[in-house]
Structure formats: structure tokens, C-alpha cells
Chain A
Amino acid sequence: MSPQRRSSRDLSELITLVLSIVIVAALVGGVAFVQLSSGDRPPVISAGASLDEMQRVVGGFQLEVVVRNDGDRAAEAIRLVVVQEVEGRTSEHEIEIDFLAGGAVARATAILRSDPRRSTVRVEVRSFQSRN
């Protein structure tokens, strides 16, 4: 093998090795940085619904519910209730979310029978389990 070809082979191998080291260092460094910089706060779950995202469907109204975990730890088995009050009558619609990581946002949909724009709608977080 000529010295020029040998050098070209070595260079390509060297570059792929250096790239691999950079990728692995970035992954390990990133995971370590997250550990050092993040806290250990328990889950802080909040939920809300936006009437702008409401859609009329056959038999009711689809209302998107946005659930947010502002804590550091993950939450499991989050139980939400969408409470709708129409002319003094209250109806409840349950939503359950299996898992929500710390800092994550999840979206769910409640099906309401009455138009949410002509009623009072609120979303309540009833319970959840903290992971770890």
C-alpha cells in the first residue's frame, strides 16, 4: 500500500473515531449536566383547557386539556376531572394520564355534551402518584 493511501485510510478512521468520541462525550456530558443542574422537586401538576381548541363533533364537543408537570420528578396515574356547569347543573368528565415526566406537557381530550362556550368549564387535578 502506498504511503499516500495508507495516510488517507488512517485519516478517515481517525476522523470517524474522533466524531464517535465527541458524540459519546456529548451524551455522557449532557446526562451528567442534567443530573448536576436539575433539582429533585416533587411533581407539580397543573391543567387547563382552551376554548379556542374546542371542536364540535357528532354527539358533543371535543375540548383539549393541557396538563403540565412543573416539578422535577415524574408523575404517574394522574386523574383529572373536567367540571362543566350548565344552568346550575354540574357534570364531570374524567381523564387519566398514565405518565408525565418532570417538565413535560401532555394533551388529552374531553368530550362534553354541552357547548363549553355557553357554560362554565374548569379542570381539576384530583390525584397523582410521584415517581421515585
Chain B
Amino acid sequence: MAAGALHRAQPAGWARELDVFARAFSGAFLFGIPLLYTQETWLIALSLDAVQLLLLLALTFVASLALARVSGFRNDAKAHRFTSDLEQAVEALAVGAVGSLVILVALARLGPEDPPERWLAMIALQTVPLAIGASLGNAFLSDSGSRLGDERGGPRSSWRALGTDVAATAFGAFFLCFNIAPTEEVRLLAADLGLGHLVGLIVLGLLIGYAIVFEAEFVGIGSRRAQKGPFQQPVTETALAYCVSLAVAGAILLLLGRIELGDPLRDVVAQTIVLGLPATIGGAAGRLVV
């Protein structure tokens, strides 16, 4: 297959902005999801005064500016000029704020009954790791990280590609889940979430998984798009990867004794879906690495 066929034409305008922000949000979630699932960060946000929060945001801006210099999430010709770095630092903060808003609402840590101070404090604090993750968008999953980099000159057979994808998803999901599954937060969140939130988490997991692998233009996207087979289409691969991630999340919860076979079905399903979101993010990263 010609090399050109492995790569999408360089997008422009809104298509390029979609890729750029998909990469920024992907970096943000890859880096920040464990902290979004940490009770202490929810609580400490409420005990900080506004001066402390503003200082943290200022430090994050400086860190994002420095990271835009070495990585960033835009990769056009203007990247790494000072004005472009400045713009990326502001955009990284915005990505962090929007990303934390979405996840905190999805996890029912913020709701309509909460006072505005709580919304601002929790979003401001969670913006810190997410903005830094966004600023590292280009640094995540570079070509050097892949052991199979040299083998990706052409598409693999569909069954081999499927096996590799399933294994990579499972390993990636396992890696990220194992950081979160032993904590009390999964039970706490699962107990708090209603049907609407659980469905929202499923939709969010599918969207983020799709964005990381197929929209963020990370490494290997060209060969991934060139793969043939029923499970190598973006939609089917995303759905299959989500199921694998959920299975890994459920298995880890079971192995760690966080759920047991006799537990109420609602509790088992809720905990698995709650852990399924970081599992999906880890699984997507895993597929990009191999």
C-alpha cells in the first residue's frame, strides 16, 4: 500500500481544530483521570481559599507555557513560537476547565443543588492536572514508545489486528484501572450515581475512547485507519474496546474483592461502569502504544 494511503490528508480549518482539541482532551484525560477519581482532591478544593486557587491556576499557566515549548498539543508550522505557546497555554487551561467540568458532572460530584463556589473551586483545582496533561498532548505516545513501530509499514491481517487490539486494550485498561480500583472512590461514586449518570459515563467512555484513538492524531493513526476487517472500523473497534475495558474493570474489581458474586447486580454494574471510564482511557492508550 502506498505510504500516502496510510495518512489522512492534513486537515484544515474546523477539521484541524477538532483534531487539535481531541489531542488536547485526550492528553488531559490520560494524565488527569486518576486525580479526577480521588476523593482528597474533591475535598481539598473546598478547603482552599480563592487566593490559593488563583495561585495554582497561575502556576499551571506557567507550566503549560513551558510545556507548550517542548510538547504542546498543536503541531502546525507556527507551533513553538512564543505567541503560539502563549495561546496554547490559555487553551490548555480552557481544556482543563471544560474537561474537569464534564467529568465532575458525569461523576455527580457537581450538581444543580451545589453552590457556585463549590463548582468554581472543584473545577479550578481539577483544571491543574488536566491542563498539564493537555499541554503534554504531543509528548504522549510518541513513535519511540512503540516496540512494533517498524512493523507498521502495512496493515496486518484482520484477525491478528483484532487479537493485538484486544490484548493492548486489556493491558492498557489493567494498567490504569489498577491505580484506581483499590480505592474507596469507586464504591462511593457507584453508590451515588443514578441511571442517568451511568448512561452518561458509558457515552463519555465511548466518546473519549474514540477521540483518543481516531481523532487525536496520535502515533499510528495512519496504519490504524488502513486496517481492514469487521472490528477495525472506528465505530466497531471503539465499541469492542469499550466492552473489553468493562470486562477488565469488572475482573479487577472481582480479583481485589471490591465486588463479589453475591452482591446486588445494581452495585456490580455501577462499580464496573464507574471504573470502566478510566479503563477505556487506559485501553485506548494501550492500543496506541502497540
Q: Does B17 contact A (CB under 8 A)?
A: yes
Using C-beta atoms within 8 Å of the partner chain, give the interface range for chain B: 35 or more
Q: A99-B43, A99-B46, A132-B47 are in contact. Are A23 and B116 (CB under 8 A)?
A: no
A50 at the interface (CB under 8 A from B): no
Which of chain B's residues have a CB closer than 8 A to the CB of A19? Answer: 94
Shortest CB-to-CB span from A70 to chain B, Å, is: 12
Contact B117 A34 (CB under 8 A): yes
Q: Is the interface of A mostly helix, strand, loop or mixed?
A: helix
B115 interface residue, CB < 8 Å from A? yes
Contacts of B91 in A (CB 8 A): 16-17, 20
Query: Which of B21, B49, B98, B121 counts the most A-chain CB atoms under 10 A from its CB?
Result: B49
A61-117 contacts to B (CB < 8 Å): 74, 98-99, 101-105
| A16 CB contacts on chain B under 8 angstroms | 17, 20-21, 91
| Contact yes or no, A23 B13, CB < 8 A | no
* B121 touches which of A8, A31, A32, A98 (Cβ 8 Å): A31
Give B88-146 interface residues, CB cut-off 8 Å to A. 90-91, 93-95, 97-98, 113-118, 120-121, 123-124, 127
Interface residues of A (CB under 8 A from B): 1, 5, 8-9, 11-13, 16-17, 19-21, 23-24, 27-28, 30-32, 34-35, 38, 74, 98-99, 101-105, 131-132
Query: 18 A-B pairs, CB-CB below 8 angstroms?
Result: A9-B16, A12-B13, A17-B87, A20-B91, A21-B94, A24-B90, A24-B94, A24-B97, A27-B120, A27-B127, A28-B57, A31-B120, A35-B49, A35-B51, A74-B46, A99-B46, A102-B117, A104-B114
Q: Which residues of B contact A (CB under 8 A)?
A: 12-14, 16-17, 20-21, 43, 46-47, 49-51, 53-54, 57, 87, 90-91, 93-95, 97-98, 113-118, 120-121, 123-124, 127
